[in-house]
Amino acid sequence: MTEELIKELIDGNKKYISNMKNEIVKYVSVQKPQIAILTCSDSRVIPEFIFNKSIGELFVVRVAGNVALGETVIKSLEYAVNHLKVKILIILGHTCCGAIKAAEESEKSCCGEILGEIQKSFSNGENHSLCNLSRQLKMLPKRSELINKKMKEGKVKLIGAIYNMESGKVEFL
Ligand SMILES: [Zn+2]
């Protein structure tokens, strides 16, 4: 079973190389994405597909529940803002999010860091995808002095958006 899966990946990678040859070569030594996206790890939320973008165009950080939490996530986003100098930073939430569902269902006492973070947003309304997104938009500049500074200087704009799983449509806040 696992061998079949790996073979699928190898075959897929061959197709990728033959389809993307020129682009791969073009970006060998440089990347200049203008957009960074923090989104969920959900296999159905694929920023490059959703926005019809390709290699080198999006700097993407994915974590369950698209939480702007923890050094790994924050430092990755800071890299995009400070070194790559992305112009916009999008936090992309989505409907039917498993992490949000898990946070709704679990007891506070047995929650990990991510679910606890998501739960903190629930008191702000009924639409929990939106509540979580709003919280992450608020918390990111609080958790990153650098991003906060760059936002104030007008170097980067922080934007929230929700991907609708049913229609494929993204609504920008
Ligand atoms: Zn999700």
Q: Which residues surround ligand 1, an ion (CB under 5 A)?
A: 40, 42, 97, 99
pLDDT tens-digit readout, 108-163:
555 689 999 999 999 888 899 999 999 999 999 999 999 999 999 999 999 999 99
Q: What's the whole-number average pLDDT of the chain?
A: 95
Checking if the pLDDT of 37 tops 90, the result is yes
**Encoded tokens for 32:** 């200049």
Q: What is the pTM of this model?
A: 0.94
Average pLDDT, integer, range 85-97 = 97
Ligand 1 geometric centre to CA of 29 (Å): 32
Distance 100 CA to ligand 1 centre (A): 7
Which element (helix H / strand E) includes 105? helix 98-105
Could you list the beta-strand ranges (E) of 21-102.
35-39, 58-62, 88-94
pLDDT reported for residue 123? 87
Single-letter residue type at 88: I
